[in-house]
Amino acid sequence: MTDDANMSMRKFLKQVGVTSQQAIEEAMRGTDTAGKSFAVKAVITIDELGLRHEVTGEIKGQD
């Protein structure tokens, strides 16, 4: 993989991480999340390559 391709991929993934964290924090703000867990799923697709990558997990609320 070329340096340019690797850099553009890393830049995209950083944007996904930062903006996703901001969106989750905003959704949780003002909501009682103490003692709760939330199922989470992220899906990345590249239609032209036939890629569909899914990651699931759990986010715990604030105590």
Identify the residue whose tokens are 């699931």: 56
Its domain, for residue 17, covers: 3-60
CA distances from 58 to 10, 30, 55 (A): 24, 20, 10
Q: Where are the alpha helices (DSSP H) in the chain?
A: 3-28
DSSP class per residue in 20-33: HHHHHHHHHTTS--
Has residue 62 got a pLDDT over 90?
no
Q: Per the structure, how many domains does the chain have?
A: 1
The residues with which 60 forms a beta bridge, in sequence order, are 37
- Express each pLDDT in 11-34 by its tens digit: 999 999 999 999 999 999 989 999
Instruction: For the chain, state the CA radius of gyration.
Output: 15
Total-model pTM = 0.85
Has residue 63 got a pLDDT over 80?
no
